[in-house]
Amino acid sequence: MSGRVYEWKNLGDSRTVKADVVIVGTGCGGATLAYELSKSGKKVIMIEEGGYYHTGTFDNHELNMAGKVSAERNMATDATGTINLVYGKT
């Protein structure tokens, strides 16, 4: 697998990038799907609204990282109040 990150501001007026699959959203599901597809030889493009964070950016502290990777986040519980749900939009 190889990869290249294009940031929107650097794309210019026109750019052609060819791929077998385009995945919108690089959260848990999108990133996993991209990994598996690329592992099987597919050329994958991932489109993400949020910022680009390389591994050196992460400090392994959930509360510190939540503000970086989740633009809109919230907490709720299930109908019985026994399961905490944390969700967000990048």
Which residue's structure tokens are 């052609």? 16
CA distance 22 to 71: 23
pTM over 0.85: no
Read off the pLDDT of residues 26-75 as tens digits, 9 standing for 90 and up.
Answer: 888 898 999 999 999 999 999 888 777 777 888 888 777 776 666 566 67
Each domain of the chain, given as residue ranges in start order, spans 1-52, 59-90
Residue 28 corresponds to which tokens in the numbers above?
């848990």
CA distance 11 to 71: 23
Q: Per-residue pLDDT for 18 more than 70?
A: yes
Give backbone dihedrals phi and psi of 73, rounded to 5 degrees, phi first: -135, 155
Neighbours of 68 (CB within 10 A): 14
